[in-house]
Amino acid sequence: MTELKCPFSIVLAAASARCGNAREVVRRGGAEYDCTVPAAHALCRELTDHLKARALPALGHEDDLTVTPKSVYERILLGGLQGLGAAGDGAGQAQSTADIRTTVDAARRRHGGVAAIPDDEFIPAIEACTLRRRRRRT
């Protein structure tokens, strides 16, 4: 099987979300996640590209790994999932442990495609997203 690194690996590794298609693998850099369903991987890749393209300018950043902190990308992924999950549940409540597979598929069906997902469904959640602080080791 070809390894398909999950586009939401950062969020999965932080235990901020889960996915039924993810399989944990250990690589040199530590634990990562691969997707076990190629079609789902393509859909998630399309969604992460859409989220970054719309959210980075809204946050005042550019898509450049040398100048944009990793935490900005993590906020985009986690906040984007929370915003899409809140829009999908009708109650407007972001879920911190959203199932990625379900959330992504529901957003795609709701709008007829990833590119049609409106900014107002995820940008406010990304802007409001706060990441858990890591504790310093002493």
pLDDT of residue 138: 60
Query: How far apart (Å, rounded) are the C-alpha atoms in residues 106 and 55?
Result: 20
What would the two tokens of residue 120 be? 């107002």
What is the percent of the chain where pLDDT is above 70? Answer: 87
**Whole-structure pTM value:** 0.85
Query: How far apart (Å, rounded) are the C-alpha atoms in residues 47 and 104?
Result: 8
pLDDT tens digits, residue range 28-70?
Answer: 777 789 999 999 999 999 999 999 999 999 999 999 888 999 8
Phi then psi dihedrals of residue 107, to 5 deg: -65, -40
Q: What is the mean pLDDT of residues 123-134?
A: 85
Q: Which residues contact 27 (CB under 8 A, 6 or more apart)?
A: none
Query: Confidence class of residue 132 from pLDDT cuts 50, 70 and 90?
Result: confident
pLDDT of residue 104: 92
